[in-house]
Amino acid sequence: MSYRAPWWLPGGNAQTIWAAKCSRRHAGAAPRWRRDRWSTPDGDFIDVDHAVYESRADAPLLVLFHGLEGSSESQYAIAFADFASRNGLAFAVPHFRGCSGELNWAPRAYHSGDHQEIDWLLSRFASLNPARPLIAVGISLGGNALLRWAAEWGEAAARRARAVAAVCSPLDLAAGGHAIGRGFNRQVYTRMFLSTMVPKAMRKWQQFPGLFDRDAMLRARDLYEFDNLFTAPLHGFKNTEDYWARASAKPLLADIRVPALALNALNDPFVPASSLPRQTEVGHHVTLWQPAQGGHVGFPVSHGPLGLPGHVLAMPEAVGAWLLQHC
């Protein structure tokens, strides 16, 4: 992807925040959604939003896995829905547990390395849409989980999906976790995430009293502490270090056997450039795009005579075109 940020948005933080808060996300009408609730094998549920528009019965299905605390209302989901509608694709956003606006039922949530959940979801999509080629994109946390799935399932993943892409994913979770816990990131992004994650965790504690240390959770001030109290123990990890090490996709990228794209801006405030994989580390099935600018799921583009207002349609266009090459 060849990308250059607008002159009036210097730096990764500006490109990240403006894209999330101020950008135009769709060229045509805003997407409309139809929601399905899927029952999971462990007695829980996942809500899936399908974009409502006409597409050919044999057109590809693009599945988007959202990022931390994301949903079908996230700016990137709307932008990818716009791309899908303009290109005649079916489009769906499965919500990770607890992210659809209703608390899930089981004593668990979601995490960066949940390749079993990804496999169950993609298997369900494939069985419900056998005539449609399946392609998938994951954003940030969702992209790490998607590439973990591609690596863990190897040839089986290649038979399931035509191609996958990860956008701005912290493929080295420890590097990303420490980066978001420092300085400006800690004051802005960490507070933003914890403002929704902690209340949801407390509601989960009300469902299952004693599930974790409630008082310690109320004192949590960064994602390291949150993961140590909640994410790691609820999903089978010993602690934060164990979770970040075992859930990271980077060490397994060479095992991927399906065409896979990893897009990371070098100025992403969440993902240190030094932690990104090199082409020699990933094998020939994986393509790396690492532009100098873009921020975290930003990639805003100027529009109009003065460069304002801007939009975030260029990244979905580039990633979507790459995925379609493999259909």
- Fold classification of 12-172+250-324 is Rossmann fold (3.40.50)
User: Catalytic annotation on 222?
Assistant: no
Distance of alpha carbon 70 from alpha carbon 95, whole angstroms: 8
Under 8 Å between Cβ of 132 and 59: yes
Residue 170: name the closest of 193, 195, 200 by CA.
193
Distance of alpha carbon 47 from alpha carbon 97, whole angstroms: 8
Distance of alpha carbon 279 from alpha carbon 283, whole angstroms: 7
SS3 181: coil
From 95, 115, 296, 311, the catalytic residue: 296
Residue 106: name the closest of 115, 93, 97, 116 by CA.
97
Q: For the whole prediction, is pTM greater than 0.75?
A: yes
User: Catalytic annotation on 268?
Assistant: yes
Give the type of residue at 159. Answer: R
Cis peptide leading into residue 94 (ω within 30°): no
Structure tokens that stand for 229 in this block: 């109290």
Where are the chain's structural domains?
A: 12-172+250-324, 177-247
User: Catalytic annotation on 26?
Assistant: no
pLDDT in tens, the chain (327 residues): 889 998 889 999 999 999 999 888 898 888 999 999 999 999 999 999 999 999 999 999 999 999 999 999 999 999 999 999 999 999 999 999 999 999 999 999 999 999 999 999 999 999 999 999 999 999 999 999 999 999 999 999 999 999 999 999 999 999 999 999 999 999 999 999 999 999 999 999 999 999 999 999 999 999 999 999 999 999 999 999 999 999 999 999 999 999 999 999 999 999 999 999 999 999 899 999 999 999 999 999 987 655 556 899 999 999 999 999 999
From 140, 169, 248, 275, the catalytic residue: 140
Residue 63: name the closest of 122, 147, 4 by CA.
122
Residue 25: name the closest of 264, 294, 298 by CA.
298
